[in-house]
A and B are shown apart, each in its own frame.
Chain A
């Protein structure tokens, strides 16, 4: 059971906009930054969003992040087939004194 809650799956057609939610608590999402990773199994996870809504260089502006209270979300606009991957949210947890992750959302591009 992951500390942060994500929907197990999401889908969309090419060109569509999809959103993935991440729900936490006051000890993690509510009081710390949220990060988002894109992961293809067997490969190194890739940082997509840091500090709630910042994109590292090289990440397309089709990817955006937001946070409100104890929930956060990742939005992907102009969906492409190469976006098909697992997406994880992460945050620091003050109670656990460690990093926590969501269970991951498998994005399918139909």
Chain B
């Protein structure tokens, strides 16, 4: 059974940093691209970032480019999101999602998601 468990969320002041983690199990982690998707309160889903199986291809939404960094450790079956210079508009539930392909591109899609970890940016 595929399981994705996010952690690391919490309350943080604007301008500070936070690192999210996603522990994956139930599948061969290093065979697949992975993503972060978020949902702000009362809003829809927003793709944040994606990373290929070998970290060779990475992409970000314009809203987080230059502030967030996605990474993965295939030896630990883990996905990460380093979030710097946080803003109030980054407040959201952050989901980790598995891709069906090894590269994050038009050929794949997200088939499994975690339950999310809440990030609140407020002074």
Contacts and interface: CB of A to CB of B under 8 A. Distances in A.
A21 to B, nearest CB: 15
A29 B72 CA distance: 30
Contact of A2 (B44, B60, B104): B44
Contacts, number: 68
Contacts of A35: 109-110
B1 interface: no
A51 B50 CA distance: 19
Contact of A98 (B61, B93, B110, B111): B61
B44 A99 contact: no
Contact of A101 (B45, B62, B111, B114): B45
Contacts of B110: 35, 45, 47, 90, 99
Contact of B109 (A33, A39, A42, A103): A33
A88 interface: yes
Interface residues of A, number: 28
Contact of A88 (B45, B104, B115): B45
A71 B45 CA distance: 19
B80 interface: no
Nearest to B49: A98
B59 interface: yes
Interface of A: 2, 32-33, 35, 37, 39, 42-47, 50-51, 56, 88, 90, 92, 94, 96-104
10 contacts: A2-B46, A32-B106, A39-B45, A45-B45, A45-B97, A90-B109, A101-B37, A101-B45, A102-B44, A104-B45
